[in-house]
Structure 1
């Protein structure tokens, strides 16, 4: 498998620049996930790598060799599209073997590869059916199978699960995770779903407006986000943000804002006391609240809605005009339209510069 390097790669559609010059290295044998909101440039990046879009500048290298001049079929890549792209007049076996038949692969080899991949994806019993006779999840397996039989060095996935319902999407995530453990291949996966990114990726590349905001392991992005965008994008339920002003009172540092006054403690207080920023944004995960008054600093919240999710409930609350999400055990129900005092676990609180969004 090649090491893939993007060197100052950029893409414009007419006067609109979609990707500013970008550097990115995809390591040999790695499952890399490109994640971000719609329009951030992740699918364009994948299509440039596949050869389906031309570069506007820069170069892509496979093990140090430039490949932007190569046709898609010469890049040793296999791609799984969002919309399956199956031939409706062919049965599943022919759909999966189409690329091999074009290459003139011997029939015995084709049959062996199709059977092996179909068994791995649990679609061996469907090979004689047409795509119209399959469910959405089965069609997605066929699309993956068509890529896998090619035995390419690198597999590209462009939001392959976005058309599936929630339950099937969760099942396919598990199957993808199992599949990646059996294949020693490069995999590049594009999604807007941060749960898919967190559960599948060896490394996650977070993008926004064509720029790479941060890259790292799921744990690194969750625990040490580089900026407010990454902190808000990674994690479910999403992080809460409260704009505040730093005020020092009696040698203690406080973050004050509409409806709250939180005394800052520990390493966060030390970092902020030595900095220049006075207007900050506090970042508090929904899991960073407790009803134990010894756990942290008090924050009074008005409960708007309690969303029951089984063992956990998500409380939608208000702090003045700001919405705050709180994770709470469902075994101790809390009624809506009540005001309660929660305690913030200060060791888990983050602070961001209000202007730049950089984590302080």
Structure 2
């Protein structure tokens, strides 16, 4: 399992640069997730690693050896695509073993590998069937199995669950997480779904506009985002943002905006002392706003929509001209159209520079 290093790797199509010079290290036996909106450069990064796209500048190294000039088959990589790409005339065993048969691997070794991987993926009872006889989730397992039987040093996944329905996607996430714990390999996974990223990744790399915005563990990205983009992308429901202005009252620092006045926690106020800007944006997780009043910072919210989700309800509310999502326990129903007092946990409030988007 090689250590993979991107050294100032960029990609352009003519005059259009889709990936800015990128530095990234993928550690041995690590599950790394590249996440971001469509067009951010994550799939392009993966395809350059696989050798399916040429590098415009820079180099990729496996254990210190440059591999940018190598053909895909020379890179010891197996890839699972968004499209299953199964051969319809072959049964499942033949689909899974196709690359091994091309490589002239001994038949007994092929059978051993196919059965072992099929058992791990719970498709061992399907080996004699054709792809048309399988469900979408079963076909995706076959596509993963085809990559896994190769026993490559690095596995690449390009949005493999995006074609599945929500329930099946959740089930496959669980199975992928279980599989990750059984296989001691490098895994690089591309997705636009931050829930997949948070569930699967040892390390998440958040990308936007061809630039790495931040990388770290799921907890690091959730609790200490570097900028407004990362804060808004990681977490479900998404973070709320409101423009405001820093102001001092009675020896304390406050943020004033349309429909609210909130105190800044002492630790955050000390950090803000070194910044000259007064125009900021505040970020509040939906779970940081509660309808349980304990003497904290109050805010009046108009309930627009109440979405009952079982144990929790997500409220779409208005605070002045701002729209806020609030996550509360659903034990007490909250009627839309009403205006109620909520409380903000200002210890969890994040403050961003309104112009640069950087967290202050």
Q: Same fold (TM over 0.5)?
A: yes
Cα distance between partner residues in 2 of 1:295 and 1:8: 52
- 1:249 and 2:236 matched: no
Q: Please say if residues 295 and 345 of structure 1, whose CA atoms lie closer than 8 Å, have aligned partners that are also in contact.
A: no
SS in 1 for 2:49: helix
Q: Please say if residues 316 and 326 of structure 2, whose CA atoms lie closer than 8 Å, have aligned partners that are also in contact.
A: yes
Instruction: Find the counterpart in structure 1 of residue 133 from structure 2.
Output: 133
Shift of 1:274: 3.6
Once structures 1 and 2 are overlaid, which stretch shifts more, 288-297 or 12-21? 288-297
Q: Please say if residues 266 and 346 of structure 1, whose CA atoms lie closer than 8 Å, have aligned partners that are also in contact.
A: no
- 1:43 and 2:25 matched: no
SS in 2 for 1:58: strand
Per-residue CA deviations over 1:265-312 (Å, capped at 9, x if unaligned) read: 321222223421100000000000123333521111100000000100
Cα distance between partner residues in 1 of 2:56 and 2:322: 42
What TM-score do the two structures reach when normalised by structure 1?
0.99
Task: Give unpaired runs (5+ residues) of structure 1.
Answer: none
Cα distance between partner residues in 2 of 1:211 and 1:41: 8
Cα distance between partner residues in 2 of 1:265 and 1:45: 40
Task: Give unpaired runs (5+ residues) of structure 2.
Answer: none
Instruction: Find the counterpart in structure 1 of residue 210 from structure 2.
Output: 210
Q: Please say if residues 42 and 207 of structure 1, whose CA atoms lie closer than 8 Å, have aligned partners that are also in contact.
A: yes
Cα distance between partner residues in 2 of 1:88 and 1:47: 25
Instruction: Find the counterpart in structure 2 of residue 224 from structure 1.
Output: 224
Call closer, same or farther: CA 1:336–1:107 in 2, change over 3 Å.
same
Cα distance between partner residues in 2 of 1:188 and 1:295: 47
Q: Please say if residues 136 and 164 of structure 2, whose CA atoms lie closer than 8 Å, have aligned partners that are also in contact.
A: yes
Cα distance between partner residues in 1 of 2:64 and 2:317: 53
SS in 2 for 1:160: coil
Aligned length: 360
Instruction: Find the counterpart in structure 1 of residue 307 from structure 2.
Output: 307
Cα distance between partner residues in 2 of 1:274 and 1:14: 43
Instruction: Find the counterpart in structure 2 of residue 182 from structure 1.
Output: 182
Q: Please say if residues 242 and 322 of structure 2, whose CA atoms lie closer than 8 Å, have aligned partners that are also in contact.
A: yes
Cα distance between partner residues in 2 of 1:54 and 1:97: 28
What does residue range 278-357 of structure 1 map to in structure 2 within 5 Å?
278-294=278-294, 296-357=296-357
Cα distance between partner residues in 2 of 1:287 and 1:74: 49
